[in-house]
Amino acid sequence: MINIRQAGLEDLTSVVSIFEQYRHFYQCENNIVLATDFIKARMEQQESIIFIAETDEQEKTVVGFVQLYPLFTSTRMKKVWLLNDLFVEETYRKQGIAEQLILNAKALSNDTGALGLRLSTAASNQPAQALYEKIGFIKSQNFYYELSL
């Protein structure tokens, strides 16, 4: 059994551990100190919401997470949540955990009166795209641009 709940500062060590696994998945160099500072700042400054998936064993283990950032749309004058990070440990995949995490993100969006959720994923990430479409996400026809600094 997996429990999904919002993470707090008391979960910092566990969140950083799964966050570093996520970053490793995307071939980022691990840096536990910077990762801790980053996640702690997001939590303390209330700049993101993190939901964690944890086992219900005696020693609860975090096996997945989703991190959301608030955005705003000027034309619609509403909040939109950016589903920026989603990760489930490999041994726990294909058990519906990612879907549960996204459903919690959707509930947060509803509870905060937001317009909805936005996300992006690699064009090659077919499993993620299939999951998003299963849940009801629609591929945008908009073009997105990036400017690296």
Mean pLDDT (the chain) is: 94
pTM of the model: 0.92
Token pair in block for residue 23: 């970053």
CA–CA gap between residue 67 and residue 53 (Å, rounded): 12
Beta carbons within 8 Å of 122's beta carbon, 6+ residues apart: 128
Interstrand relation of 78-88 and 49-55 (parallel, antiparallel or unpaired): unpaired
Q: What is the radius of gyration, based on Cα positions, of the chain?
A: 15
pLDDT at residue 56, as a whole number: 85
CB 83 within 8 A of CB 66: yes
Span 96-127, pLDDT tens digits: 999 999 999 999 999 999 999 999 888 888 98
- Contact between 102 and 87 under an 8 Å Cβ cutoff? The reply is no
pLDDT for the residue numbered 145 = 79
